[in-house]
């Protein structure tokens, strides 16, 4: 299939308006004839469900948690970007667009990113109207802070709980529609299969997580807003429930998967402290507005931080990148932290940590001012490490955080399966090879509040769809396939826990497909994952039965998908014979260890098609063209 991104013609700044005008419309009284399934109630799914229902569509909304409010988005800390230029510091839609393209190391679509920057301003208005309590300055106006990869302050925030406050806003909008019966909520459901009829997405098969019942739901279109898949690495900053299953199942049904190997490793997380740990905790990038990153100048220096004089400290980000300092983008910061630790300058017991020090800003602004901005993050740090960051520098290390890869979508956010849309972190759309901080919330809400309500309407108005019911054979066979897989998992009856397999898989992926990769390691990892997958299907133990609340079974399905998906990630990483953004292949680097792109051969989106059971995926590419910005070597110096 030839990939058509359906990018509208015309000047960059007019594309979205022109496209919206040209999209077919469905009149208000007709909209109630359409049923739409939305999977996911994070910022992307909640905002989409609420807005589609507000327009009059009948929406069925699914999530894993007992309440939509518990979606992973609630964990987002530092803020959300928008090009409002309230600080009058030189920001503009163009600058947000440019920073995002550059931050993504020139591996994203100009048209999508420009639209994102345009829509960003409406998001802030929408959320303020909903009552989201963004931080305000002394005079009562909305205030901003800075995030990585930008030299302006454009990030709106609610202390270190921005995701929670935004999600409460979206949840309120969703609840209004639930109350008016325009949205039917299905919490505690695990979507196991996508149902495709006559080449179009027409429904899903779900498992009721409490009773084990397998349910089928039909619709005229399906929207996947199931978040990111960082948990493939076992340890990540993601919520424990974050997974790849729904989008991977859609991939197996014909949706192409784009750039699966683009994983963001966030530089500032609380370091791993033991082998029984199952979760890592983020310390928001916003902290680098005031915290300074440093290591001792001399390898092996084990003195306590306050015993190391200024002259023996290396503020390596400020030294190497004077223009952006501590606020270089995440991929650049993470690689530099690793480099310092590899040189033996890491601190703490394991040597896998660097300092994030607030002493200067506390001296400059006072403890109260720092507490006002970050106190909940400081408390979280102290609870986990038993160290007070107002007195001792934080110790931080990079950890898996976000996935830029996801289902391939065109400008309308539709996948290669007509009628199947992907929004939020579940798609690949806007961040190229590296996402800038505070841009995930922006993208999820842009997709949900402003883009999908237009483009999905355009699809429905032109699609001429018959009604289908769950009696259709495609539903019956998808439900049977789900049951068969569940029975297969339950009948392995081996000796090793699913968690144990997941941990080993995560270690392989971290070691060979993590912060840096190389061709030989990636090829070796493919063998390792393949044989571990085989062992999983021979020797995993999945206790209990289907007809009950069975978290082991739920997890087993996820890990089985992570295995197959890891193979796809490794194929993608191997095929991209360059370094770009977060994909740092040691075989391709500049003299000063920066990512070395190959724009001549690899300036494209890699979109993978399912090749069949135990077969290699099929590679397709969407060439990227840069007509408005110049393709240059990224520099933050």
Ligand X SMILES: Cc1cc2nc3c(=O)[nH]c(=O)nc-3n(C[C@H](O)[C@H](O)[C@H](O)COP(=O)(O)OP(=O)(O)OC[C@H]3O[C@@H](n4cnc5c(N)ncnc54)[C@H](O)[C@@H]3O)c2cc1C
Distance of CA 188 to the CA centre of its chain: 22
Q: Token pair 């163009």 is at which residue?
A: 94
Number of residues that bind ligand X (CB under 6 A): 47
Which residue has the CB atom at the shortest distance from ligand X? 42
Residue with smaller CB distance to ligand X, 424 or 514: 424
Residue with smaller CB distance to ligand X, 8 or 227: 227
Structure tokens at 559: 């890990």
Q: Is 104 in the site for ligand X (CB under 6 A)?
A: no
Q: Which of 35, 73, 108, 334 binds ligand X (CB under 6 A)?
A: 73
Burial grade of 325 (CB within 10 A; 0-12, 13-18, 19 or more): middle
Helix axes 551-575, 519-539, angle to 10 degrees: 160
Q: Is 582 in the site for ligand X (CB under 6 A)?
A: no
Q: Quote the CA–CA distance of 11 and 299 in Å, as a whole number.
A: 53
Q: Is 566 in the site for ligand X (CB under 6 A)?
A: no
Near ligand X by CB under 6 A, which window of 87-95, 343-351, 433-441, 570-578?
433-441
Minimal distance in Å, beta carbon 498 to ligand X? Answer: 16
Binding mask 186-205 for ligand X (x = CB under 6 A): ---xxx--------------
Near ligand X by CB under 6 A, which window of 42-50, 119-127, 410-418, 590-598?
42-50
- The answer to whether 540 and 585 are in contact (CB under 8 A) is no
| Edge-to-edge order in the sheet of strand 420-422 | 183-186, 58-62, 35-39, 221-224, 420-422
Instruction: Tell me which of 330, 335, 558, 634 is the catalytic residue.
Output: 330
Q: Which of 37, 55, 71, 152 binds ligand X (CB under 6 A)?
A: 71
Q: Which of 58, 77, 218, 571 binds ligand X (CB under 6 A)?
A: 77
Q: Is 64 in the site for ligand X (CB under 6 A)?
A: yes
Q: Is 75 in the site for ligand X (CB under 6 A)?
A: yes
Q: Is 109 a residue of the active site?
A: no
- The answer to whether 235 and 272 are in contact (CB under 8 A) is yes
User: Which residues in 206-225 contact ligand X (CB under 6 A)?
Assistant: 225
User: Which residues in 239-298 contact ligand X (CB under 6 A)?
Assistant: 242-243, 245-246, 282, 284
Q: Quote the CA–CA distance of 431 and 62 in Å, as a whole number.
A: 26
Q: Is 80 in the site for ligand X (CB under 6 A)?
A: yes
Q: Is 184 in the site for ligand X (CB under 6 A)?
A: no
Q: Is 522 in the site for ligand X (CB under 6 A)?
A: no
Residues, the chain: 637
First to last CA, the chain: 42
Q: Quote the CA–CA distance of 476 and 473 in Å, as a whole number.
A: 5
Beta bridge partners of 207: 190, 214
SS3 content of the chain, % helix, strand, coil (to 5): 40, 15, 40
Residue with smaller CB distance to ligand X, 75 or 575: 75
Q: Is 402 in the site for ligand X (CB under 6 A)?
A: yes
Q: Is 162 in the site for ligand X (CB under 6 A)?
A: yes
Structure tokens at 561: 């998908």
CB 66: neighbour CB atoms within 10 A?
11
CA torsion through residues 409, 411, 416, 420, sign: positive
Minimal distance in Å, beta carbon 345 to ligand X? Answer: 27
- Phi–psi pair at 288, nearest 5 degrees: -80, 0
Q: Quote the CA–CA distance of 242 and 57 in Å, as a whole number.
A: 28
Residue with smaller CB distance to ligand X, 12 or 247: 247
Residue with smaller CB distance to ligand X, 162 or 571: 162
Residue with smaller CB distance to ligand X, 445 or 525: 445
Q: Token pair 């391709």 is at which residue?
A: 588
DSSP state of 158: S
Near ligand X by CB under 6 A, which window of 129-137, 339-347, 440-448, 606-614?
440-448
**Which residues does the annotation mark as catalytic?**
330
Residues at the contact surface with ligand X, assessed by CB under 6 A: 39-45, 62-65, 71-73, 75-80, 162-163, 189-191, 225-228, 237-238, 242-243, 245-246, 282, 284, 401-402, 424-426, 438-441, 444
């Amino acid at each position: 299939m030839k990939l058509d991104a359906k990018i509208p013609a015309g000047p960059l700044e007019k594309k979205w308006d022109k496209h919206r005008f040209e999209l077919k419309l469905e009149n208000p009284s007709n909209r109630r004839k359409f049923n739409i399934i939305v999977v996911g109630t994070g910022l992307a799914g909640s905002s989409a469900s609420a807005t589609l229902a507000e327009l009059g569509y009948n929406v069925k909304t699914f999530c894993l948690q007992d309440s939509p409010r518990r979606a992973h988005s609630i964990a987002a800390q530092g803020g959300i970007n928008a090009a409002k230029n309230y600080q009058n510091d030189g920001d503009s839609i163009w600058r947000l667009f440019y920073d995002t393209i550059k931050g993504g190391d020139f591996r994203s679509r100009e048209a999508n990113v420009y639209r994102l920057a345009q829509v960003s301003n409406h998001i802030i208005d929408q959320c303020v109207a909903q009552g989201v309590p963004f931080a305000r300055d002394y005079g009562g106006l909305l205030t901003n802070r800075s995030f990585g990869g930008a030299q302006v302050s454009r990030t709106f925030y609610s202390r270190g709980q921005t995701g929670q406050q935004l999600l409460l806003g979206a949840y309120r909008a969703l609840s209004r529609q639930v109350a008016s019966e325009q949205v039917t909520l299905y919490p505690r459901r695990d979507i196991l299969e996508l149902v495709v009829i006559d080449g179009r997405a027409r429904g899903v098969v779900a498992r009721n997580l409490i009773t084990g019942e397998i349910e089928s739901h039909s619709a005229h279109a399906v929207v996947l807003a199931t978040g990111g898949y960082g948990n493939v690495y076992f340890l990540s900053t993601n919520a424990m429930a974050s997974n790849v299953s729904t989008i991977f199942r859609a991939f197996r049904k014909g949706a192409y998967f784009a750039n699966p190997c683009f994983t963001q490793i966030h530089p500032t997380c609380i370091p791993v402290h033991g082998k029984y740990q199952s979760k890592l905790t983020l310390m928001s990038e916003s902290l680098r507005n005031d915290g300074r990153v440093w290591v001792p100048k001399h390898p092996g220096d084990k003195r306590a931080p306050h015993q190391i004089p200024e002259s023996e400290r290396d503020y390596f980000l400020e030294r190497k990148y004077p223009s952006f300092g501590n606020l270089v983008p995440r991929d650049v910061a993470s690689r530099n932290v690793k480099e310092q630790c590899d040189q033996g300058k890491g601190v703490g017991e394991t040597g896998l940590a660097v300092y994030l020090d607030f002493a200067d800003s506390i001296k400059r602004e006072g403890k109260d001012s720092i507490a006002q901005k970050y106190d909940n993050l400081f408390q979280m740090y102290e609870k986990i490490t038993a160290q007070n960051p107002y007195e001792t520098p934080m110790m931080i290390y990079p950890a898996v955080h976000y996935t830029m890869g996801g289902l391939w979508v065109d400008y309308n956010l539709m996948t290669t399966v007509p009628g199947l849309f992907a929004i939020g972190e579940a798609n690949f759309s806007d961040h190229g090879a590296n996402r800038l901080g505070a841009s995930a919330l922006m993208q999820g809400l842009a997709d949900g509040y402003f883009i999908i309500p237009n483009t999905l309407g355009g699809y429905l108005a032109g699609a001429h769809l018959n009604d289908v019911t769950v009696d259709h054979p495609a539903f019956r066979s998808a439900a049977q396939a789900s049951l068969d897989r569940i029975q297969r998992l339950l009948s392995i009856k081996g000796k090793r826990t699913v968690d144990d397999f997941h941990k080993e898989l995560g270690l392989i992926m971290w070691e060979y497909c993590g912060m840096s990769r190389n061709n030989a390691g990636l090829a070796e990892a493919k063998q390792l994952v393949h044989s571990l997958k085989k062992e999983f299907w021979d020797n995993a133990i999945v206790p209990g039965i289907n007809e009950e609340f069975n978290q082991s079974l739920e997890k087993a399905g996820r890990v089985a998908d992570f295995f197959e998906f890891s193979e796809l990630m490794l194929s993608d990483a191997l095929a991209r014979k360059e370094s770009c953004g977060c994909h740092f292949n040691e075989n391709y680097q500049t003299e000063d260890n920066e990512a070395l792109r190959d724009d001549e051969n690899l300036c494209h989106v890699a979109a993978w098609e399912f090749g069949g059971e135990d077969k290699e995926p099929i590679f397709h590419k969407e060439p990227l063209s840069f007509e408005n910005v110049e393709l240059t070597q990224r520099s933050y110096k």
